[in-house]
């Protein structure tokens, strides 16, 4: 199995190409660019350390909403549910 060094992930909406671009970046190289920038901390203990489907959905919605703050043109493509989706009770 291949191993990777730790990396950060940058997601960019390229409006002119109507494309999302995901890139892996070495944390040390991106750290100086992050100083003083908006940060949305996500505390894993608030999710019982479960990185499940609902966590991934909520993370994705939050990231798309953050992109839309700076590039409102993408809003017309976002139809994801903003609130938590309650799971059906299992019997």
Spatial separation of the C-alpha atoms in residues 60 and 49, rounded to whole Å? 17
Residue 15 in tokens = 């409006």
Cβ 3 vs Cβ 10: under 8 Å: no
Where are the domains positioned within the chain? 8-77
Q: In this predicted model, what pLDDT tens digit does every residue of 55-78 receive, in sequence order?
A: 999 999 999 999 999 999 999 999
29-38 residues labelled b (16+ CB within 10 A) or e (exposed): eeeeeeeeee
Classified as helix, coil or strand, 49 is coil
Cut 0.85: pTM above it: no
| Terminal-residue alpha carbon distance, the chain | 39
pLDDT at 91: 53
Q: How confident is the model at residue 90 (pLDDT cuts 50, 70, 90)?
A: low
pLDDT at 15: 95
Q: In this predicted model, what pLDDT tens digit does every residue of 13-63 receive, in sequence order?
A: 999 999 999 999 999 999 999 999 999 899 999 999 999 999 999 999 999
């Amino acid at each position: 199995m291949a191993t990777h060094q730790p990396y950060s992930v940058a997601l960019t909406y390229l409006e002119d190409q109507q494309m999302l671009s995901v890139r892996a970046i070495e944390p040390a190289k991106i750290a100086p660019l992050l100083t003083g920038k908006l940060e949305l901390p996500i505390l894993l203990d608030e999710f019982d350390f479960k990185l499940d489907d609902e966590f991934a959905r909520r993370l994705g919605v939050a990231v798309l909403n953050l992109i839309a703050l700076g590039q409102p043109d993408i809003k017309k493509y976002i139809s994801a549910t903003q609130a938590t989706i309650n799971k059906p009770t299992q019997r």
